[in-house]
Structure 1
């Protein structure tokens, strides 16, 4: 398979995986965490709820980057690209749609970890594969 096609497929699968992980975690939180479900409509999340959302996002981007690295069979380019794509998609959403819904620190942490965490996950995956 051509290297560019493998990279494109790896990024697609990595992005879909990250979205699926996030959706499953969100549905689970809404179903099994009554306070979270009550806070969700108005986005009046507590500190613990916000940290849990950040943790899920981190796990999702790390998993997506790891899978992308394995599929791409590259030196980590797929992971860094996945982080960059995640940032490119998330940045306008956070700046223009949900900025007022969350504290500034939340946006800074979330947007700040996407690229480096994806790159780190790719690097760790490469080391385990070697």
Structure 2
């Protein structure tokens, strides 16, 4: 299951990279259809580069999406990720406040970095939710 999740994340990231290419005049896909299309595009790229291991993994991910993905379930999963990311941002903000009260510059910088990372993850989760 962990491997499938990793493959889906990789497929999603690759889909994001392909989004910068010119549009094909198709209506924007959302939910499971978008997820499926992203995987199909990755399979085509894997075929083009003769990467049979990646292709096999992506085909397995595609069959999992076909068998198990529902738009409602996907939306719920993405909403949960947004909630978790918001909680993480709140926690990191509290940690930064504590570090600032103690006045340790090294700790403050670490906490700022962690807060920035948490905010980035929140933004990514929100963007995923909107797809």
TM-score by length of 2: 0.30
Larger RCO: 1 or 2 (CA < 8 Å, sep 6+): 1
